């Protein structure tokens, strides 16, 4: 293998520092413009973070669902938002954490891709991660901070997993263990589902790369794999123990809530555009290359199978694969996260393709790839404007002020027609609500019985949504529900028939406050789901502490010989030769 000093500048990998500069150049301006605030779930994450600002060791939150436990959602990125908010404020703190996640993604993609392809191809894969449509879609349209935070941590852990299984390096074992625990503290769905798409191909690669006569046996590799699985499982169980307790004792048994990502994208082209064209972008043009190269190269087949499986599940109801493999989880999860994972698994192939195109077409090839990457990113970012998650943008400050004065916050409230602004409103008032955006935190039987999401968008869920709203209104006295704050006249007949009357108008008469006489003040629910004090302490210490430990452990330098690494991790049959990958 050629020494890096003997390579021409065009043959050398792109320095990781330049890739990180590209991340800053592309995403920092967009984040400083606070574009993620227009996304679907950003306010949800900021709401969770606002609770940790004031109640770091108490995950029980009374502002939604008359009380729910935030221990039902791994807290790491939200706790970092809460920590940074003391200096930056909640909104800029969210942007800072999201930028860190994107930076970690570039590093993680480089390290992960380097397991499969040459360093040069891996550097192109990392550069492509800056522009990949699925990342921008999740950041600027879906607002899934947990998903975009956990995946980079897993990607950074996987090279250490390979080193441990393949070479038995104890330092790699410790780093992988700590990083896996930190990733689990960032997002549960990525742990329970996404980690398998990434980890199993890496385990298979370690067995494929085993050589006769180098002192490693298949039994030894298997033993190290089992040891890692057991210890990671133990670490993850401890770090987010309150989450597992809540999941086991109070599983999600509510009626499934419809989501457009589970639709058939062929029969519903708008959803196909939203969940297939926009996330994949120009990567769609590379699918034939991914299939041909992944099927032809034995060493790349595990990666290809992981990509192919995630890709099929990400198609939602377009194919039966997701429903068959996931079972009931298909009705709970949203499918855009699988498209995101498939995009990350495809990036090593994209790196290979970029090298071959540039080697053959030189500047024309590089310019074409650059334009396609820019268009993919621009489409995903701009899609929030052309197809916004919320049709209207409005302020809720005056409504929060109304709830906070004259003892109005002694009673609970729900909103109608507020969309995802209910999280913003909840941050600005201490008044409790029976509504919320975290479906797994819903404890109220009136909400679990019907296949509807937020009460504020009841009409959007059809008969199920209106039935859930009527059930809550019928039990207003039970929950101290005195105020209905509506921006939608559609609900006026229903509210009037149920015995409510207008008591005030806000925001230039665009918002009507409905009240009901004789409702007692809200009383906190003494639910069995309230985490005990010891769980609150664990929740405030272990997840955040795992990230601090991960930072410290990863900074420990690895003692590896570069020549040995080059010979063992990039075998001859996978090295690039001009114009094609040798096979």
Q: Output the DSSP codes for 187-215.
A: -HHIIIIIHHHHHHHHHHHHHHT--TTSS
| Number of domains comprising the chain | 2
Closest of 338, 351, 331 to residue 198, by C-alpha = 338
Show which of 459, 481, 515 is a domain's final residue. 515
CA distances from 105 to 48, 100, 124, 347 (A): 23, 9, 13, 12
Assigned domain for 356 exists: yes
Please give the pLDDT value at position 568: 45
Query: Among positive and negative, which fits the CA dihedral 456, 73, 146, 266?
Result: negative
Are 413 and 269 found together in one domain? no
Percent composition of the chain: helix, strand, coil (DSSP 3-state, to 5): 70, 5, 25
Q: What is the pLDDT of residue 10?
A: 58
With residue 234 as reference, give the H or E element that holds it: helix 218-239
Please say whether the beta carbons of 385 and 139 come within 8 A.
no
Same domain, 64 and 130: yes
**DSSP per-residue codes, 318-374:** TSSHHHHHHGGGGGTS-THHHHHHHHHHHHHHHHHHHHHHHHHHHHHHHHHHHHHHH
343 and 232, same domain (yes or no): yes
Domain enclosing residue 283, as ranges: 12-389+533-581
Q: What is the pTM of this model?
A: 0.91
Residue 6 lies inside a defined structural domain of this protein: no
Q: At what angle do helices 195-208 and 145-167 cross, to 10 degrees?
A: 20
> Residue 503 falls within a domain, yes or no?
yes
Q: Quote the tokens at residue 39.
A: 């996304």
**Does any domain span residue 203?**
yes
Kindly report the CA angle at 69 between 48 and 481, in degrees rounded to 5? 90
The answer on 502 and 540 residing in a single domain is no
Measured in Å, how far apart are the chain's first and last C-alpha atoms?
16
| Contact by Cβ (8 Å): 535, 245 | yes
1 lies in a domain?
A: no
Identify whether residues 227 and 369 lie together within a single domain.
yes
- Residue 186 three-state SS: coil
Last residue of a domain, one of 515, 545, 566: 515
Q: Are 72 and 246 spatial neighbours (Cβ–Cβ below 8 Å)?
A: yes
Is 154 within the bounds of a domain?
Answer: yes
Largest CA distance in the chain: 84
- Interacting residues of 433 by C-beta distance below 8 A, sequence separation 6+: 63, 64, 65, 66, 412, 413, 414, 415, 422, 426
Residues 506 and 567 in one domain: no
d(CA 541, CA 47) in angstroms, rounded, equals 20
Co-location of 339 and 240 in the same domain = yes
Cβ–Cβ < 8 Å for 95, 70: no
- Residue 150 and residue 210 in contact, taking contact as beta carbons nearer than 8 Å: no
Q: Please give the pLDDT value at position 453.
A: 81
Q: Are residues 157 and 128 in the same domain?
A: yes
Same domain for 552 and 458, yes or no, is no
d(CA 107, CA 126): 7
Does 5 map to a domain? no
pLDDT per residue, tens digit, the chain (583 aa), is: 445 455 555 568 899 999 999 999 999 999 999 999 988 899 999 999 999 999 999 999 999 998 999 999 999 999 999 999 999 999 999 999 999 999 999 999 999 999 999 999 999 999 999 999 999 999 999 999 999 999 999 999 999 999 999 988 999 999 999 999 999 999 988 888 888 899 999 999 999 988 755 657 888 899 999 999 999 999 999 999 999 999 888 877 777 778 899 999 999 999 999 999 999 999 999 999 999 999 999 999 999 999 999 999 999 999 999 999 998 889 888 999 999 999 999 999 999 999 999 999 999 999 999 999 999 999 999 998 888 876 567 889 999 999 999 999 999 999 999 988 899 999 999 999 999 998 888 888 888 888 778 899 888 888 888 988 999 999 899 899 999 999 989 999 999 998 899 999 998 888 999 999 889 999 877 678 899 999 999 999 999 999 999 999 888 776 553 444 444 444 433 443 333 333 2
* DSSP designation for 407: T
Same domain, 544 and 507: no
Instruction: Please name the residues in contact with 130: beta carbons below 8 A apart, sequence gap of 6 or more.
Output: 19, 22, 23, 26, 27, 102, 106, 373, 377
Tell me: do 473 and 542 sit in the same domain.
no
127 within a domain of the structure (yes/no): yes
**166 and 310 fall within a common domain:** yes
Rounded Cα distance, 414 and 419, in Å: 12
């Amino acid at each position: 293998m050629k020494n890096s000093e003997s390579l021409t500048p065009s043959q050398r990998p792109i320095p990781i520092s330049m890739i990180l500069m590209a991340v800053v150049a592309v995403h920092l301006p967009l984040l400083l413009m606070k574009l993620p605030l227009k996304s679907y779930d950003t306010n949800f994450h900021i709401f969770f973070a606002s609770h940790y600002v004031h109640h770091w060791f108490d995950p029980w939150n009374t502002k939604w669902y008359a009380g729910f436990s935030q221990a039902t959602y791994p807290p790491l990125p939200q706790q970092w938002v809460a920590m940074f908010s003391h200096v930056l404020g909640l909104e800029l703190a969210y942007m800072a954490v999201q930028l860190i996640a994107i930076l970690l993604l570039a590093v993680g993609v480089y390290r992960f891709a380097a397991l499969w392809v040459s360093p040069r191809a891996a550097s192109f894969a990392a550069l492509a991660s800056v522009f990949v449509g699925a990342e921008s879609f999740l950041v600027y349209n879906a607002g899934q901070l947990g998903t975009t935070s956990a995946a980079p941590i897993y990607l950074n852990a996987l090279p250490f997993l390979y080193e441990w299984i393949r070479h038995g390096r104890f330092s790699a074992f410790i780093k992988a263990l700590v990083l896996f625990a930190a990733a689990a503290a960032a997002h549960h769905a990525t742990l329970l589902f996404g980690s398998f798409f990434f980890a199993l191909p890496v385990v298979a690669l370690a067995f494929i790369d085993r050589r006769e006569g180098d002192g490693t046996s298949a039994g030894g590799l298997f033993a190290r794999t089992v040891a890692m699985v057991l210890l990671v499982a133990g670490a993850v169980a401890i770090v987010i123990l309150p989450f597992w307790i809540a999941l086991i004792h109070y599983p999600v048994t509510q009626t499934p809530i419809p989501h457009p990502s589970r639709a058939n994208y062929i029969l519903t082209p708008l959803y196909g555009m939203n969940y297939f064209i926009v996330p994949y972008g120009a990567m769609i043009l590379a699918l034939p290359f991914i299939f041909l190269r992944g099927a032809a190269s034995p060493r790349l087949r595990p990666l290809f199978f992981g990509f192919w499986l995630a890709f099929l599940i990400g198609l939602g109801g377009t194919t039966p694969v997701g429903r068959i493999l996931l079972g009931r989880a298909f009705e709970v999860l949203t499918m855009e996260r699988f498209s995101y994972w498939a995009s990350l698994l495809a990036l090593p192939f994209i790196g290979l393709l970029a090298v071959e195109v540039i080697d053959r077409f030189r500047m024309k090839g590089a310019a074409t790839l650059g334009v396609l990457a820019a268009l993919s990113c621009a489409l995903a970012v701009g899609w929030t404007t052309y197809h916004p998650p919320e049709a209207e943008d409005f302020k809720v400050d005056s409504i929060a002020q109304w709830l906070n004065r004259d003892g109005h916050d002694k009673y609970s409230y729900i909103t109608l027609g507020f969309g995802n602004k209910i999280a913003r409103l909840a941050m600005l008032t201490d008044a409790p609500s029976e509504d919320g955006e975290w479906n797994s935190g819903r404890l109220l039987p009136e909400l679990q019985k019907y296949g509807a999401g937020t009460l504020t968008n009841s009409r959007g869920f059809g008969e199920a949504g209106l039935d859930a709203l009527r059930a809550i209104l019928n039990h207003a006295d039970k929950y101290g529900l005195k105020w209905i704050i509506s921006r939608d006249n559609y609900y006026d007949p229903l509210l009037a028939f149920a015995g409510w009357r207008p008591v005030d108008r806000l925001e230039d008469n665009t918002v009507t406050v409905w009240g009901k006489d004789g409702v007692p003040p809200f009383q906190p629910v003494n639910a069995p789901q309230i985490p005990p004090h010891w769980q609150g302490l664990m929740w405030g210490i272990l997840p955040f502490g795992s990230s601090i430990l991960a930072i410290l452990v990863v900074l420990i330098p690895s003692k590896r010989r570069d020549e040995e690494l080059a010979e063992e991790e990039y075998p001859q049959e996978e090295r690039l030769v001009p114009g094609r990958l040798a096979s």
